[in-house]
Structure 1
Amino acid sequence: MIVARYAVSDPGKAAERSRLIEEHKAYLHGAAIRILLSGPSAPPAEGKGSTAIVMAQVETLAEFEAFSAGDPFVRSGVYASVDIFEWRPSLGLLLESL
């Protein structure tokens, strides 16, 4: 199953985000799940939180939810919101490699 996490940073937690960025990256790089793509959006408009997407291939949604819960950004409240959902891609060049 392909899952996606769409997270929006809390602009008030910018210092915490900066402090944890390397730990967050290490967590993603060391993941026991298969991360397909991950990264932030372009810089946000002033006063808005930045967004980030992680797409992964996992056996169950619960497996990804547990992985996400361990992310330093999630644990510390850097994200104001986190949405996790199953995604069913049906078209595209990358689909053949899944």
Structure 2
Amino acid sequence: MIVARYAVSDPGKAAERSRLIDEHKAYLRGAAIRILLSGPSTPSAEGKGSTALVIAEVETLAEFEAFSAGDPFVRSGVYGSVDIYEWRPTFGVLLESL
């Protein structure tokens, strides 16, 4: 199953985000799940949090939810919101590699 996590940073937690960025990246790199793509975007407007997307292949949604809960950014509240979805890609050049 392919899952996507869409997270929005809390702009008030910028200092905490900076402090934890290396730990967050290490957590993603050391994941026991198969992360297909991951990365941030820039804030859409001043005062708004940046967003980040993780796309992963897992056996169950619960497996990814547990992984997400252990992310230092999630544990510390750097993300103001986190949404996790099962994703069923049906078209695209990357589809053959899944």
How many Å apart are 1:44 and its aligned residue?
A: 3.7
The runs of 5 or more residues in structure 1 that have no matched partner are: none
How many Å apart are 1:66 and its aligned residue?
A: 0.1
2:82 partner SS: strand
Please name the residue that 2:64 is paired with. Answer: 64
* Structure 1 segments (4+ residues) deviating >6 Å: none
Cα RMSD after superposing both structures: 0.6
User: Which TM-score applies when normalising by structure 1?
Assistant: 0.98
Equivalent pairs counted in the alignment come to 98
Please name the residue that 1:55 is paired with. Answer: 55
Instruction: State which drifts further: 37-46 or 70-79.
Output: 37-46
The runs of 5 or more residues in structure 2 that have no matched partner are: none
How many Å apart are 1:45 and its aligned residue?
A: 1.6
Question: Sequence identity, in percent?
Answer: 88
2:3 partner SS: strand
The CA distance in 1 between the partners of 2:54 and 2:96, in whole Å, is 19
1:18 matches 2:47: no
The CA distance in 1 between the partners of 2:7 and 2:86, in whole Å, is 15
Please name the residue that 2:34 is paired with. Answer: 34
Alignment-mate amino acid for residue 17 of structure 2: R
